[in-house]
Amino acid sequence: MSTVRVRVAPSPTGAPHVGTAYIALFNLAFARRHGGQFLLRIEDTDQTRSLKAHEDRLISALRWLGLDWDEGPDVGGDCGPYRQSERLDIYRRHADQLLATGHAYHSFATAAELASWRAEGQAAGVPAPFAVERDGDPAAGRARAATGEPYVVRMKMPLEGTCVIEDMLRDAPISIDYAGLDDQVLLKSDGFPTYHLAVVVDDHLMGITHVIRGEEWINSTPKHMLLYDWLGWDAPKHAHLPLLLNPDRSKLSKRRNPTSIDYYRRAGYLPVALLNYLALMAYPPAAGADGAEQEKEPFDDFVGRFDLARISLGGSVFDVEKLNWLNGRYLREDLTPQQLLQALRDWALNDDFLAQIMPLMQPRMETLGDLMPKCVFFFSRNVEAKLEDLLPKGRQAEDVAAMLQTVVWSLETVVPWQRDAIEVAVKRTGEFWDWPIRDITRPLYTAIMGQPVGPPLYESIVLLDVDLTRMRLLAAIEVLGGVSKKKAKKLEKDWAS
């Protein structure tokens, strides 16, 4: 049997997500367990959302966790490039091959046409009918494309038949009828591939033997199997992991919870604990000698007993309380006081970080002893904002909560995280509400610092960093009574316009 090769393939479209770490963790464990290789591939095929800044943060976050890869964009390897935006010609070549063999076709349909086809399909309880284009003359399609008219390349899905997927985590194979599937776009009009084309081509070219990914991909696996077949390749084995969930059991999202790896880093969690907790999310703890279970288990020990088939299939609610408990145990049990001090230095108690605080605090001090009380919030996991401090004179809690929500949205667009851009984002919400800036900043001071007074706001937000800032704003919104789902929806609409 050939060497095990697995990968994690995140797309750099936002903050590094704990879900990515979770998937990476199981891939790495599988690779280590079988003496194989683990690769990192950047799936930056969405030109409108992918950012190099996000990729940099992602790599830094995964490195911090110690989820190291054997091949990747930053370390190279024999199967590069490992960034999909640098492999465009490869995808085009394979798309051409599928066009030539009649498995794909040029599509020129407008958005309006597609919408009407979909509506038609919906009404009949079937996927959108693409017959108009898919059965046309291939040469005509090619000629039309050559004129420079924008087009996409679509898969010609079989109208009948069933795809049987063997999933390593499940006893019974998964069967999905081809008839229920859309003619998937493979090549977009900007010349970039979609996920479906790129993932199959790359996994094959990079020698991936096992695709271990999130459960949200099950439904598109038949498309991938078809592609392997059409291209004349053997498909890798598949394993679809259960999803990480919000407390309300929906797919883990940043809407109300911290989902960025950087949040946990900045809030003071230890990588070993986060990793341990993530493993526990889908894998039973080791049995101890006395029958009790050993929940605390560093990654290297976990690898030694890892067996893909033992992964539990139900989605898991991410429980910060339990993470806190585990993190506390590592902090107390595994670190000498010296090591604890070092961990603190690596985190925030270092000259580099403190030096940035000095200019903010110096004008506000009479004795050296005034420093810490006035800037504890930089070193705290969270602060407790009091309701009365969050309310500017004459404002209702409900309105202030809504206002803070728009600040959260406004701040989301700030990349990279810099002072002036933050100020612009905050002022923009001021204009939106047509409130004096004071009524915006007072709640902000309180949310960020726990009290309505403190060092300069924008500079402080920069140092607090994006994830901690976001969570403090969300916490303040809760103190104010929250923003109802219905209201948030309307607000989001108004805000977007």
Partner RNA sequence: GCUCCCAUCGUCUAACGGUUAGGACACCAGAUUUUCAUUCUGGCGACCGGGGUUCAACUCCCCGUGGGAGUACCA
**322 counts as binding RNA under rule CB under 7 A:** yes
End-to-end CA distance of the chain: 57
CB of 238: closest distance to RNA in angstroms? 12
**170 counts as binding RNA under rule CB under 7 A:** yes
The values of phi and psi at residue 163, to 5°, are: -95, 130
CB 327 within 8 A of CB 269: yes
Taking residues 256 to 275 in sequence order and writing x for each that binds RNA by CB under 7 A, - otherwise, the string is --------------------
CB of 119: closest distance to RNA in angstroms? 11
Q: Which of the residues 215 through 244 are near RNA (CB under 7 A)?
A: 215-220, 242-243
Instruction: Let me know the angle formed at the C-alpha of 235 by 234 and 240, rounded to the nearest 5 degrees.
Output: 165
CB of 17: closest distance to RNA in angstroms? 10
Give the number of C-alpha atoms closer than 13 A to the C-alpha of residue 246, restricted to the C-beta side: 11
CB of 496: closest distance to RNA in angstroms? 15
Helix (H, G, I), strand (E, B) or coil at 153: strand
**329 counts as binding RNA under rule CB under 7 A:** yes
Which residues face 116 on adjacent strands? none
Give catalytic residue positions: 254
**334 counts as binding RNA under rule CB under 7 A:** no
Chosen residue from 66, 102, 161, 180 binding RNA by CB under 7 A: 180
Which residues face 174 on adjacent strands? 165
Compute the distance between CA of residue 367 and CA of residue 365 in angstroms, rounded to an integer. Answer: 6
Compute the distance between CA of residue 283 and CA of residue 321 in angstroms, rounded to an integer. Answer: 18
Residue whose tokens read 């070549």: 93
Q: Count Cβ neighbours within 10 Å for each residue of 167-177 and write b for 16 or more, e otherwise.
A: bebeeeebebe
Which span (7-15, 67-75, 357-365, 385-393) binds RNA, by CB under 7 A? 7-15
**9 counts as binding RNA under rule CB under 7 A:** yes
Which span (312-320, 458-466, 477-485, 486-494) binds RNA, by CB under 7 A? 312-320
Chosen residue from 79, 168, 174, 348 binding RNA by CB under 7 A: 174
CB of 54: closest distance to RNA in angstroms? 12
> Residues in contact with RNA, total (CB under 7 A)?
70
Instruction: Let me know the angle formed at the C-alpha of 350 by 345 and 354, rounded to the nearest 5 degrees.
Output: 140
Chosen residue from 27, 37, 45, 259 binding RNA by CB under 7 A: 45
Compute the distance between CA of residue 14 and CA of residue 307 in angstroms, rounded to an integer. Answer: 31
**314 counts as binding RNA under rule CB under 7 A:** yes
Q: Which of the residues 51 through 110 are near RNA (CB under 7 A)?
A: 109
**293 counts as binding RNA under rule CB under 7 A:** yes
**114 counts as binding RNA under rule CB under 7 A:** yes
**281 counts as binding RNA under rule CB under 7 A:** yes
**285 counts as binding RNA under rule CB under 7 A:** yes
CB 87 within 8 A of CB 202: yes
Residue type, 395: R
What is the dihedral angle through the alpha carbons of 324, 325, 328, 330, rounded to the nearest 10 degrees?
-110
Q: Which of the residues 401 through 420 are near RNA (CB under 7 A)?
A: none
Is the preceding peptide bond at 81 cis, omega within 30 degrees of 0? yes
CB 407 within 8 A of CB 442: no
Chosen residue from 6, 7, 8, 11 binding RNA by CB under 7 A: 11
Compute the distance between CA of residue 241 and CA of residue 231 in angstroms, rounded to an integer. Answer: 27
Which residues in this chain contact RNA in the complex, by CB under 7 A?
9-11, 13, 43, 45-46, 49, 109, 111, 114, 118, 122, 125, 127-128, 150, 152, 170, 172, 174-177, 180, 182, 185, 188-190, 192, 194-195, 215-220, 242-243, 245, 248-251, 280-282, 284-285, 291-293, 295, 310, 312-317, 319, 321-322, 324-325, 328-329, 332
